Amino acid sequence: MAHDAALREKAKEMFVTNGFSMDTIQTMLPEISRKTLYNWRETEKWEDQRRSRVERTKSRRERIEALIDRLLDEAGVKVDPKLIFSIGKLVTALKSTNTFEFTEEKKVESDKKEQGISDDTWNKIEERLGLT
């Protein structure tokens, strides 16, 4: 059975971008057989694309965390509203990077190390913003 290209793209987005399992996709798109989904995943290398997206997200999160740390150090020297605003924006950006993580990868990563901003970093943020 020939499938619409839009349906194929939707299934790919659900797997690569949204992190859904193949079973979940098959349940949500019942017009596509399990075999077809697995064939698409194999021929179009969805797994590789998914891994690449996860790695880019991790790298982005690490850079944002480093920038927050640098700005927090600077905030300790001078209190500047623009600096505090920048820190707030970066914290929001950091939180948004966590939405791109996938359930399976989160499970593996949480076994390896704690994710997100460390308690020490949160304490620094709260201290610098006068919340403690």
Q: Residue 131: pLDDT band by 50, 70, 90 thresholds?
A: confident
pLDDT one-digit tens code per residue, 4-35: 888 999 999 999 988 889 999 999 999 999 99
Nearest-angstrom CA–CA distance, 32 and 18: 18
Region 44-64: mean pLDDT is 85
Model confidence at 123, in pLDDT bands (50, 70, 90)? confident
The proportion of the chain whose per-residue pLDDT surpasses 90, expressed as a percent, equals 30
Q: In the prediction, which pLDDT does 95 show?
A: 75
Residue 21: what are its φ and ψ, rounded to 5°? -75, 165
Per-residue pLDDT reduced to its tens digit, 29-49? 999 999 999 999 999 999 999
pLDDT at 11: 93
Mean pLDDT over all residues of the chain?
79
Band (pLDDT 50/70/90 cuts) for residue 71 is confident
Listing DSSP states for 50-85 in one string gives HHHHHHHHHHHHHHHHHHHHHHHHHHHH---HHHHH
- How far from chain centre, in Å, is Cα 10? 19
CB 37 within 8 Å of CB 25? yes
Widest Cα–Cα separation across the chain: 66
Q: What share of the chain is helix, strand, coil (3-state, %, to 5)?
A: 75, 0, 25
